[in-house]
């Protein structure tokens, strides 16, 4: 009988090297190498350089740092090579060699700023965060780009809104319960996304449970800071496990948080415990969840017409779920609503990538085609599932950005 290797992901990554036939389809699709010489492309940095990455030996190629982690290479690879995972593990090896830089700590723990600034102090914090002098200083010292789009701290947190609202009727059966994973951005910056999510789930007869939760750890993970990322994931697994064990779905509106819970953290960190797997298997993107309801004929489709046409961008973090376009599949049920999808590979920001001073312009160049697409639409609003991408597209195009769940909430109208 074959023995199960300690880390089957490591093995599958190693095996995937042999599946690379050097066809360069990934190189032709990579949005980063299309705009900069600093990143030679996924094939070179991924499967080719990987042959030279050996434990105990210095890293052969620092340019892997310029991989934005958008996973377009994984998406297009005809032979199933997992380039992004190779690259992220290579970044982790560099972090292991050199230690975690201060900037990674700041980006990885940005939710602590949220905790401090969200609430009554938000207006003051927002002025401070937009102070050009301060931003210049931050750029000079810790190399966080002064022009990168910072989100606006909310004057109230999502959880405080949830606590204050009138108590809803408990669902008649356990089957009609969901755990909502709001993530840091809904909590501190965009509580309106969480409000829309809760109301949509309730319109479908679900009792929404707000489990204790922390940052998913993706900003640390994608920068190769695996150790602190692991403790973030362990905390969330501990909080979410009791619900997963009861089969209560965990539904999120942040495509990057749900991807981290589903796949990124378990695979990159080699966490294959039953608890981790249970949480992973019970986590859903909210539109994936709604689409499943619809497939079973259980979605409330009592929509009011929304006579609007808007551009839509499927963020790379959503595409990495490999689910197609769940938001489009649901929103096309709304009479009068037309969403036109961009063909852009990536908005450029890719998590924390575009916040780095040396990568800010690359991120803007990657997103240029997308900004042009949404501007040319003539709409004042564009739709995107991922918060970071919404901030970047708003920054690059000047349009107002909405999560698709906010649009769906509108379609349900007032009761």
Contacts to other proteins by CB under 8 A: 23-25, 27-29, 33-34, 36-37, 40-41, 44, 74-80, 259, 262-263, 280-281, 283, 291, 294-295, 319-325, 328-329, 341, 343
Largest CA distance in the chain: 65
Indicate the residue among 78 and 242 with the shorter CB distance to other proteins: 78
The continuous run of DSSP H or E covering 180 comes out as strand 177-181
Residue 283: strand pairing partners: 250
Angstrom distance (rounded) from CA 6 to CA 90? 19
Indicate the residue among 6 and 296 with the shorter CB distance to other proteins: 296
Minimal distance in Å, beta carbon 23 to other proteins?
4
Indicate the residue among 230 and 325 with the shorter CB distance to other proteins: 325
Indicate the residue among 312 and 371 with the shorter CB distance to other proteins: 312
Minimal distance in Å, beta carbon 187 to other proteins?
23
Q: Which two tokens stand for residue 134?
A: 């301060």
**One-character DSSP codes across 334-403:** STTEEEEEP--S--S-TTTGGGBTTTHHHHHHHHHHHHHHHHHT--SEEEES-HHHHHHHHHHH--EEE-
Minimal distance in Å, beta carbon 347 to other proteins?
18
Indicate the residue among 110 and 213 with the shorter CB distance to other proteins: 213
For residue 352, what are the CA distances in angstroms to 65, 150, 199, 348?
A: 12, 11, 30, 10
Indicate the residue among 80 and 123 with the shorter CB distance to other proteins: 80
Q: Which two tokens stand for residue 403?
A: 């999560």
Indicate the residue among 185 and 256 with the shorter CB distance to other proteins: 256
Determine the distance from the C-alpha atom of residue 164 to the mean position of all C-alpha atoms in its chain, rounded to a whole number: 28
Instruction: Please measure the distance between the N-terminal and C-terminal CA atoms of the chain and give it in whole angstroms.
Output: 60
Minimal distance in Å, beta carbon 217 to other proteins?
16
Angstrom distance (rounded) from CA 225 to CA 88? 10
Minimal distance in Å, beta carbon 182 to other proteins?
19
Minimal distance in Å, beta carbon 46 to other proteins?
14
Nearest residue to 232 via CA among 289, 202, 271: 271
Minimal distance in Å, beta carbon 265 to other proteins?
11
């Amino acid at each position: 009988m074959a023995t199960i290797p300690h880390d089957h992901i490591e093995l599958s990554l190693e095996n995937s090297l042999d599946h690379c036939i050097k066809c360069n389809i990934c190189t032709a699709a990579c949005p980063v190498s299309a705009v900069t010489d600093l990143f030679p492309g996924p094939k070179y940095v991924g499967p080719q350089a990987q042959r030279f990455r050996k434990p105990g030996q210095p890293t052969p190629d620092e340019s892997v740092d310029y991989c934005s982690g958008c996973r377009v290479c994984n998406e297009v690879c005809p032979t199933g090579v997992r380039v992004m995972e190779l690259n992220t593990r290579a970044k982790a090896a560099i972090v292991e060699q050199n230690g975690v830089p201060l900037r990674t700590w700041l980006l990885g723990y940005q939710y602590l700023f949220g905790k401090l600034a969200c609430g009554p102090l938000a207006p003051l914090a927002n002025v401070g965060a937009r102070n050009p002098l301060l931003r210049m200083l931050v750029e000079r010292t810790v190399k966080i780009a002064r022009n990168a789009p910072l989100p606006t701290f909310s004057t109230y947190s999502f959880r405080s809104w949830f606590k204050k609202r009138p108590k809803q009727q408990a669902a008649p059966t356990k089957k009609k319960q969901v755990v909502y994973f709001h993530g840091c951005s809904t909590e501190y910056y965009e509580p309106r996304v969480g409000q829309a999510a809760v109301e949509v789930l309730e319109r479908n007869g679900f009792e929404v449970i707000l489990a204790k939760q922390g940052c998913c750890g993706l900003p640390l993970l994608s920068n190769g800071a695996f150790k602190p990322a692991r403790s973030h994931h362990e905390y969330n697994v501990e909080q979410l496990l009791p619900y997963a064990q009861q089969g209560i779905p965990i539904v999120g509106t942040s495509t990057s948080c749900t991807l981290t819970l589903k796949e990124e953290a378990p695979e990159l960190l080699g966490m294959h415990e039953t608890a981790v797997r249970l949480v992973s298997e019970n986590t859903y993107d909210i539109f994936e969840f709604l689409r499943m309801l619809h497939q079973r004929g259980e979605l409330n489709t009592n929509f009011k017409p929304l006579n609007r046409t808007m551009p839509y961008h499927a963020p790379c973090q959503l595409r990495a779920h490999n689910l197609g376009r769940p938001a489009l599949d649901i929103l096309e049920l709304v009479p009068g609503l037309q969403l036109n999808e961009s063909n852009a590979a990536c908005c450029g920001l890719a998590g924390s990538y575009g916040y780095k001073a040396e990568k800010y312009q690359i991120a803007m160049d990657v997103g240029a085609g997308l900004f042009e697409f949404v501007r040319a639409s003539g709409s004042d609003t564009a739709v995107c599932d991922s918060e970071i991408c919404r901030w970047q597209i708003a920054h690059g195009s000047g349009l107002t950005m909405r999560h698709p769940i906010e649009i769906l909430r509108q379609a349900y109208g007032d009761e």
